[in-house]
Amino acid sequence: MSISPEKLKALEEKAKKYIIHEALQNAYEVAVELGQPLLLTGEPGTGKTLLAAKVAYELSQRKGSNFYPEVLEFNTKTSSTARDLFYTYDAISHFQTANIRRQSNEDAPATADFIELQALGKAIAFTNPSEKDQPFFTTALPKQPQSSVVLIDEIDKAPRDFTNDILMEIDKFSFAIKEQNNHRIDMNTNQQIAVIMTSNSEKNLPDAFLRRCVFYHIPFPSDDILLKIVRSQLGEGTKYTDQTLEAIIAQFNEIRENSVRKKPATAELLAWVRILELRDYLEANETQQKKIMKQNLSVLVKTQEDWKVVHRMFS
């Protein structure tokens, strides 16, 4: 699959802005080398999802690599089934179209017209883009075999059967399309599929599934890492000094410590820093700065219980 120079540049910028710990770097390297999924846990907003974009771009830039630079993403829902990870079949549209054509004495529509490959299904098919497979779905295949990074986001949202049902497919990178007489699509073992899964909880993940994963828990960043993250995301054009950012981060950490229901995450810190700048925080005196912080607490505090506690800090 080709990608425009503009899109590639955007992916590069996104990858550069992601600050990665050495331990996390090692975890994903191990997962890629072993061909096992990398399971990431950690607080919401600690960068679990963004890691996949960085990995996809970095792998695509390695010498001799044919990794696609953009991640193939699957957003897990409470209603997700194992099939959804590989392909979707629009049975309702198929039925409606068939009825319309029957009334017009036209030929019945092909089942393939209503089947579309999803993240892991695409990745498997892209490693082995065979002409014999193309008639079974609408998704276009690349001209040459291609490796990919697949993100399965918030896998803990899915029913417990979801992880049990994909054990074989994760092991062998193979799946069958039931609606097409169980036509099977297999991975070309000369290519690679790097799977990254995120979870905010381990409660729905069975032991058999966990045994097949490389695991890493992303801790909440230390102050110096937070400073690096904020600096990286703001870019070179920011007017913030390190001293000012350190003061904001200290206030942010105090808010986290006092929050009872939901502690603000790194992503919310970044939003807070940006909105403070837009509200002329840098030009204000100390009293005005405190007022501006208080006026924009809604970026950080998301429950009534926390609002009452944190608001008192600025009284």
Map residue 146 onto helix, strand or coil: coil
Map residue 199 onto helix, strand or coil: strand
Same domain, yes or no, for 154 and 173?
Answer: yes
pLDDT of residue 21: 84
Q: What does the radius of gyration of the chain's CA atoms come to, in whole angstroms? A: 23
Q: Which residues contact 272 (CB under 8 A, 6 or more apart)?
A: 248, 252, 264, 296, 299, 300
The rounded Cα 128 to chain-centroid distance in angstroms is: 24
Same domain, yes or no, for 146 and 209?
Answer: yes
Largest CA distance in the chain: 78
Other Cβ atoms less than 10 A from the Cβ of 63: the count is: 4
Same domain, yes or no, for 147 and 238?
Answer: no
pLDDT digits (tens, 9 = 90+) for 200-235: 875 668 888 888 899 999 988 999 999 999 999 988
Same domain, yes or no, for 84 and 180?
Answer: yes
Same domain, yes or no, for 45 and 142?
Answer: yes
Task: Name the phi and psi angles at 75, rounded to 5.
Answer: -95, 110
Would you state the structure tokens that stand for residue 239, as one six-digit string?
């007017």
pLDDT of residue 202: 59
Domain count, the chain: 2
pLDDT of residue 80: 92
pLDDT of residue 204: 67
Let me know if 56 is exposed, middle or buried by CB neighbors in 10 A (0-12, 13-18, 19+): buried
pLDDT digits (tens, 9 = 90+) for 178-206: 999 999 999 999 999 999 999 987 566 88
Q: Looking at residues 279-289, what average pLDDT do you find? A: 92
Same domain, yes or no, for 119 and 55?
Answer: yes
